[in-house]
Structures are given as structure tokens and as C-alpha cells.
Amino acid sequence: MPTPYSVMVVCTGNICRSPMAEVVLRERFAAAGLADRVVVDSTGISAEEHGNPVDRRARAVLQGHGYPAGDGHRARQVRAGDERDLVLAMTNAHARALRRLDVEPVLYRSFDPAATGDLDVADPWYGGAQDFEDCLAQIEAAADGIVEHVRAELGNAQVSRHG
């Protein structure tokens, strides 16, 4: 069996945005029949939340939309050498931090066909329930584009192995 395609989502503390996106992407890859070919994880650029679970408000919005709550998740900091096939940064600031670690990211919202201007996924941490709803909406809006990108990458890898 070939090595799975690996995706990592990165935010600040790895308790809100990136674990929410990790859950959504896992569900979308499973729905696309790619669960056995793609692995998704998440990290943060900061160590301040290291070991903490998914934020309770993020859990609530995920569950409210029919997603798993991210049980078992523990925040961890991205490290140099954390290589994946696709690294998705939630903001431009996260992308800059990743580049300092020699990790080349792509902005998560760049896969949202309706996104224009600022491609940062809004940080819900300091807000209320609506901010977490808005964050999930931004994550969902880009998820299908990410799935299609990975599907194309998998197809290209298969062609290059056989062609």
C-alpha cells in the first residue's frame, strides 16, 4: 500500500482553527472516498497551548454542525522537519512563521473559490459563539477545494508512477 498523502493545518495554538479544519477535512476526505489515502493532522506555531484539548467553543460548533468534536486531540507546536505533502496555514502570519522553519505552506482559504482580498481565517478565540460559527463557515468554504487539489495530486502521483 502506498504511503498516504499527508496534510497538516496550522494556526496559532492548535486548539481552535486548525483542529476544526482537521476534523472538517477528515470528514470531507472520507466522503470523497479518500480516507485510506489521505491523513490529516494539525499543529500550532506557538507552544502556549501544548497538550490542551480542542477549545470547548470549537467543540460545540463542530458538534452543532454534525462533526466529531475532536476528542483525543492534544495541541502541539509545529517543528522544523514536520514535513507533509500539503501544509495549510490559517493566516499570512502563520505562513511567515512556517517559512522561518523551512516549511512551505499554502493559505487555507486560497482554496475557497469565493474568497477575495484577505485570505486569513478569522481567529475566533477572543469572540463569542458567532465568531466560531463564522470560522467554521470559512473552513468549510475551502474544504472542497482542498479535497479536489489533493485528489488531483494523488492522480498525478499515480500517473507519474505508471507513466
> In the block, which residue shows the cell 482559504?
109
- CA torsion sign for 56, 58, 64, 68 is negative
Whole-angstrom distance, CA of residue 44 vs CA of residue 153? 25
Q: Is 16 a known active-site residue?
A: no
CA–CA–CA angle 85, 92, 77 (5° rounding): 60
Whole-angstrom distance, CA of residue 67 vs CA of residue 61? 9
Q: Is 135 a known active-site residue?
A: no
Whether the CB-CB separation of 12 and 44 falls below 8 Å is answered with yes
Out of 123, 131, 134, 144, pick the active-site residue.
123
Out of 17, 28, 59, 84, pick the active-site residue.
17
Q: Which residues pair with 4 in a beta bridge?
A: none
Whether the CB-CB separation of 9 and 18 falls below 8 Å is answered with yes
Q: Is 123 a known active-site residue?
A: yes
What amino acid positions are annotated as catalytic residues?
11, 17, 123
